[in-house]
Amino acid sequence: MIDCLIVGGGIAGASVAYFLKHSGQKVAVVDDTGFVSQASLAAGAFISPVMGKPSKFKTFADEAFRFSVSFYSQNFPKLFNRCGSLIYPKNEKSKEEFFALGDYIPSEYDFMDINPFGAFLVKDSGIINPAALIDAMLEGVDRIDLNIGAIKKEGDVWRAGEIVAKNVVLAQGAIAPIINEPYLTSQITKLWGQKCKIKTNIALQYNISSKVHIAQIDGGLAIGATHIRSETPIAINRDDSMGLIKEAKEVVEIGDFEIIEEVGGMRSASIDHFPIAGAVYDSKATLSKFPSLIHGARLSSEAPAKYENLYVHTGHGSRAFILAPYTAKLLADAILDKSQIQSQIDPARLLFRYFKKNTPNQALDRTKEP
């Protein structure tokens, strides 16, 4: 028997595995699509802050940015190119409006007067190698190439085929969780992202963040990524790559180039932009215990009913390599301490929203689905 089974071998699953393993837990990760695949493979893995004025999400994302920069620098310095990023305006309408955002950058920066609106040079920003990072995170963790179609609770443990675990973490990204809970499946949105790598003689001193992200790699540049909401994967296509290159040319003189690689993958995101990390709640048992929830009531002190020792870690969107290490640490601590996770990432928020948005009959019918 193991301490924790993690379903999903991308950055969300690997991050949780890393923190649990380094806390002395025996961990196994299963993935049938190939480790470092899907969204994690296609990710640009740019580590840069969220730009904008203060908001609940920006405050959270700033904490995650600071945490991840420190985490990568201390534990994976050879994989984290902390070269700095030039951040150009996206939607600001004046130089003054853009310059004012400097007050909210969670890192040391310089303002560069290099285009009509200028640009911020954020010194802690960089890029991480996604494939090498996940491989390093999973060092010493059992990796199993297996399709987990279902899990079953047997007494105090969970069983998935021949695997028996005290705890299970669902980190399946855009793939529907193997537990049938409509408040999760109906509120996890899917984003298709495609990036490309080009061979060119240009050399960048810093990464660039504009309409697209641009980073120096061996032999050229990485440019990404598209953000297309879609329920199904989109075929990797040259037109989207050329669109990325066209936007990159607005800030970089690329010159002659050759496209050498194109990759894409589905990302998972939540409807309120916050990641989803914490206990998986049992909607049917919760409604049975608190029937007033169906009419929009909220619980004041009692917690919703949950599946014991079953957790979820997903919904990081296009910022997974910034957000996932931070939320994984919070989730690992909650698993080890049996404590409650921060409310803004707790799946309970999706459960209550689901009850509120659906009519009584809809919610009751959906929680009865097999």
| pLDDT given at position 170 | 96
Among 124-133, 173-182, 293-302, 342-351, which is the least confidently predicted range? 293-302
What is the tens place of the pLDDT at every residue in 38-65? 556 666 688 999 999 999 999 999 999 9
CA–CA gap between residue 50 and residue 56 (Å, rounded): 12
Could you tell me which residues come within 8 angstroms of residue 249 by beta carbon, excluding any fewer than 6 positions away?
none
What the block records as the tokens of 367 is 């929680």
Average pLDDT, the chain: 90
The reply to whether 189-270 shares the fold of 1-45+129-187+271-370 is: no
The residue ranges of every structural domain in the chain are 1-45+129-187+271-370, 189-270
Spell 108-126 as b/e; 16+ CB within 10 A means b.
Answer: ebeeeeeeebbbbbbebbb
Mean pLDDT computed over 92-111: 93
**If you average pLDDT over residues 78-89, what whole number do you get?**
94
Is the pLDDT at 226 greater than 90? The verdict is no
Please state, in angstroms and rounded to a whole number, the distance separating the CA atoms of residues 10 and 18: 12
* Amino acid found at 40: S
Residues 6+ apart with CB under 8 A from 255: 200, 201, 202
Query: pLDDT class for 174, splitting at 50, 70, 90?
Result: confident
Q: Homologous superfamily of 189-270 in CATH?
A: D-Amino Acid Oxidase, subunit A, domain 2 (3.30.9.10)
Type of residue found at 323:
L
Q: Give residue 36's pLDDT.
A: 56
ω before 225 within 30° of 0 (cis)?
A: yes
Contact 283, 354 (CB under 8 A): yes
Task: List, in order, residues 6 or more apart from 73 with CB less than 8 Å away.
Answer: 80, 82
Q: Is the pLDDT of residue 303 over 90?
A: no
- At residue 72 the predicted structure's pLDDT band, cuts being 50, 70 and 90, is very high
Q: What is the pTM of this model?
A: 0.92
Taking 50 as the threshold, does the pLDDT of residue 145 lie above it?
yes
Overall average pLDDT of the 346-363 stretch: 79
pLDDT at 93 over 90: no
Q: 1-45+129-187+271-370, what's its fold?
A: FAD/NAD(P)-binding domain (3.50.50)
User: What whole-number percentage of the chain has pLDDT above 90?
Assistant: 68
